[in-house]
Chain A
Amino acid sequence: MKRIDPRKNYEDTCKRIGYVSRKEAKQADYDRIGFMSGLEVHQQLLTKKKLFCRCPAGFFQKPDEYDAELIRHMRPTLSELGEYDGTALMEFKTKKNIIYRIANKTACTYDVDDTPPFPINREALEIALEISLLSKLNIVGEVHITRKQYLDGSIPTGFQRTAILGVEGEIPLRHKKIRLIQLSIEEDSCREVSDIGHTRIYRTDRLGMPLIETVTYPDMVNPDEVKECCDYIRFLNRSTGKVRTGIGAGREDVNVSCRGGHRVEIKGVSRTKWIPELTHVEAFRQWALLSIREELRNRIQKEDWKMGVLELDPKQFQFDYQPIREAMARNEKLYAVNLPCFGGLLSHFTQPTKPFYDEFTNRLKVIACIEKPNMATSEDIDEIVGDDIFNKIQKLFNAKENDAQIIFWSPAADVKTALETIEERCQMTFDGVPNETRKSFEDGTTIFERVLPGADRMYPDTDSAPIPLETAYIDTLRHRVPDEVHDRYNQLVAWGVPTTVFHFLFTHNYYPVIKKIADELGLNPKYTALFFGQTLKKMQGKYKQRHFDPQRIFEMFAFLKQENIETAIAPKMLEEMFKNPQQDFKDILKALNYRKFRKEEILNQQKSIQKEFVPKRKNTSAQDKVNHVMGALRSWSVGNIALSELAKIE
């Protein structure tokens, strides 16, 4: 017989901690749990080459497209201050074989750590400095390349070369200022192909591409603010026109904590629209972990807690669960552990769809390298192993009423790490929220990814000399930086542009060309902004083309001005440009059957057509007459006369 009903327990605990969905959540809810969040926004820079070698940047290989493979193992080393980093020790425990797939076109001997770094890419450094200035950071006097350890293998050296360009900046949101901790320039990492058991495979195309990271203070107090801040930083980066766009070119790590919790980093969020849900769920997950801690501490002291371990002989149990049967067929080991006082905690709510035991299964996968499914618990919401078996195991352990049990299966070589992993996670329960980085899912939930690294993984790059930044050089750059995003925002408002199109305009950095069209061609800025924000957006959607060179639109309007053609024809021309990008503007006009008429000719026509107008209805209105005239003259008029003018009926 089950000691508790896991599903009911999950739902009860969800209510008990006061979880509310994001839709229902109010600022008071976030204040109640002490929501706090900060961002690390990564942005690839638009350079021709990589940061520390001369490989081309921005070419990508398919997962199975490579010219050679090589294999490495990573060992933890000391930081400059003589400490080992927690993540490093965790990664060492996993004993991964790390395989790199190299394509000759995109990777060289530097990328695979067989050649020391070349001097830093100046083009990249300059873009990053411009963005630092825009972010109002205090620019350093000398750039020191630092090695930041990454033992997951995502960089073949085992560290990322990175350097701080500025500290202590700020950006303005609508209602508050957000402080920035720092901005660094760094090399991007490899892209993972797969991670199964003890083998992790990477490809090296993205590796070494120049990237900046903007880090904010944890100044955001609700999920929407986090998104607003993220958008602002991304728009700021894009306002230079010198950063990469597209999938993976901008990625965020989102730091979240609740009161009494701990900074947890949600890694690699590639869509800003996921941020609100992710931060909401994470803050409540921590709130739930604190509740679990309280309950556990009420039951037992950390020093008195001891895990029970038992190897199971599968022959003595009747396992129906297919993955267990398959594991036994592979001659894997089967273990049960008794977790004193964890009864009712394993099925405690932590996230929507995820109870507390989810933390264990993902640690077993990541640290002990045991593929999922890798365990069953005495409190599985969807039963994996029947009560009869757990009852038997409980007897073997002589388990108490409020104990819980986990059964796991694993290759013999990984059993030791698996046991350590489970025990360690249990110990952490007494402390509350573990230092972790977590992997995100679209539904807003996260799973354990790594131990959160600290400042203990920094080491000076002995292969690179410091780079001085003279004040005169910084001043030159200062003159070059674009106007600020919030100034642009205010200008759009002043022009009367509806805010609904702002996101699109900033995402694509269309502001500079809108301003240019308004300044140089004298076109109405509101009209121009809407042309981009609505007409162009529609075309990009219709023709599924994310990128369109805005300069072409400037040229189109310049052409219309020069030919003295009314802008009403512009939307049609734009569509032609999407359909047939090679055509010049004259050909486009031909394709649209445009003929040039003088305004007077049309107005003369208009008068005669007006006269010919015979009302067809009894209650005819002035509009009928307008419609009649417009119907007859529209094709003549588009481009030759503003339709509003044509509609003026005497």
Chain B
Amino acid sequence: MAEDFFQGYKGEALELLQKYNVRVWGAAEVETTRGNFTGTILPRAENDDKKHIVMKISTGYNIGIDTNTITGMKETGYKKANYKIPEKEFPYTEGLPHVKLLGTGGTIASRLDYRTGAVIPAFSPGELYGAVPELAEICNLDTEKIFAVFSENMGPKQYIALANKIGEEIAKGIDGIVIGHGTDTLHHTSAALTFMCQNLPVPVVLVGSQRSSDRPSSDAALNLMHAMTTAGHGNIAEVMVCMFGPTSDEYGLLHRGTRVRKMHSSYRSTFRTIGDMPVARVTRQGVVPIKDNFKPRRNDRNVNIIPTFDDRVTMLYYYPGMKPDMLDAITDNGYKGVIWVGTGLGHVNKEMYPAIERAHAAGVHQYMTVQTIWGYVHMFVYDTGRDMMAKGIIPAANMLPEVAWIKLGWALGQTHDREEVKRLMLTPINDETTEREPYNGYLVYQGGSPEVEDFVRKVRK
């Protein structure tokens, strides 16, 4: 492919660059009605307008020049920048565990993308070592990029590919697996992998970062170190999410893949175990279990990979006054499963009843979860709940809505037999439903209360 000398430019801006023969990465002098500007022409992000040309001036700052003001341009030199994380060979250390890092995309290691103006993932072990040399003290690392997608573009196909890959790596004898992943749907993937990769002999750790690694205060480096420590040295052979405990650079928490949820759009400490405690705490010194019922690491390779998914499953988030045609449309479109996210203890309005019955009759598997996020579905407390159960909705205990959606898709990938699906759904694989909710499983403290303020002042949240 011929080199694109006008990367990202369109319309008037492109015409001007062509007219004056000035290229991206060219040193240029630009005359405008607002005075003269000197610098290096930079690529333009695809979604930015056609009316400006971007330039880096000698002090390192970027500026844009309005095409309407340009009266002349001259290229005086050319030097293409080479944005590259320094690659150094990842050293091999005898005696350290072997960890495989599977890349899916996301911000764990990233660099600038002029096409979108955003950051894109960078990945090779060399790049990672260049950015986080401490990793070499933790494990021997091998990496493989299986896809490069943003978190929101992960889906059932990717879950299946990942599950199969995990099976292969375990068969090859790996000591632990880390999966780099965007954070938005990290907890969907962690749930899917929990169901698809059962009886794991080694840790499978999903990790991401809330601040991209092109920022000095990124959480990426520490998260990676924590994840590698967990995968290489930890004794917990489960699918876990490893992210910051507090927003401070202090320790990471290991959350069970089925009980974890992203709870803040931007905080570093966004991931929380819901309705229970995290499995463990991790620092660079090692993994310290919090729960004692974890599945320990084993030497055998007897993993059970069940890579199935029927994507004709959807979720319905109930709101007051919801019309039954919402559900009818789902039924008529051939969906096989619906996860209801109901109010309070798990309710929807009466108006919906005929549609629920109709869906049930059409073979749609319906399960109830709660909008409150915390707590159990209790459909025996009110008549409404009993009515709904009678019409075919099955309460999914304290399964998180997203997890229930993943699990139903996974179950329907194996069978459509109503009883078998119900057995799969209600038999916990790794605490997606729990028999009891401990007192400290629900901790959303209210800022402003004196005792909470006192706590926050002393303890980093």
Contacts and interface: CB of A to CB of B under 8 A. Distances in A.
Nearest to A184: B61
Interface string A58-78: 000000001111111111111
Given A79-B60, A167-B57, 16 more contacts: A67-B453, A68-B457, A75-B216, A75-B221, A76-B216, A77-B213, A114-B267, A115-B266, A138-B36, A138-B37, A139-B34, A140-B64, A144-B63, A158-B216, A159-B216, A182-B57
B69 A141 contact: yes
A146 interface: yes
A497 interface: no
B81 A81 contact: yes
Interface in B238-267: 246-250, 264, 266-267
B62 A158 contact: no
A250 to B, nearest CB: 21
Contacts of B247: 70, 112, 114
Report the 9 A-B pairs with minimum CB-CB distance, sorted nearest first: A142-B64, A158-B216, A138-B35, A141-B66, A455-B60, A458-B60, A144-B62, A158-B217, A82-B83
Contact of B65 (A69, A70, A140, A150): A140
Interface stretch (A291-299, A329-337, A461-469): A461-469
Contacts of B216: 74-77, 88, 149-151, 157-159
Contact of B60 (A66, A456, A474): A456
B64 A146 contact: no
Contact residues on A (Cβ < 8 Å of other chain), bracket: 35 or more
B426 to A, nearest CB: 38
Interface string B119-134: 1000000000001000
Interface of B: 32-37, 48-49, 51-52, 54, 56-69, 81-85, 111-112, 117-119, 131, 210-218, 221-222, 246-250, 264, 266-268, 447, 453, 456-457, 460-461
A468 B64 contact: yes
Contact of A167 (B37, B447, B460): B37
A80 B56 contact: yes
B215 A158 contact: yes
Interface string A91-119: 00000000000001000010011111000
Contacts of B58: 455
23 contacts: A66-B457, A74-B217, A76-B216, A77-B131, A78-B83, A80-B56, A104-B447, A114-B264, A138-B37, A141-B63, A142-B65, A142-B66, A144-B54, A144-B63, A144-B64, A146-B60, A146-B61, A157-B215, A158-B215, A164-B63, A167-B35, A460-B62, A471-B66
Interface of B is mostly: loop
A462 B248 contact: no
Interface of A: 66-82, 88, 104, 109, 112-116, 137-144, 146-151, 156-159, 162-164, 167-168, 181-182, 184, 215, 454-460, 462, 465-466, 468-471, 474
A270 to B, nearest CB: 24
A81 B217 contact: no
A74 B218 CA distance: 8
B248 A468 contact: no
Nearest to A149: B216
B111 A78 contact: yes
B226 to A, nearest CB: 14
Contacts of B118: 462
B52 A468 contact: yes
Nearest to B62: A144
A468 B51 contact: yes
Contacts of B266: 109, 114-116
B32 A138 contact: yes
Contacts of B248: 70-72
A154 to B, nearest CB: 11
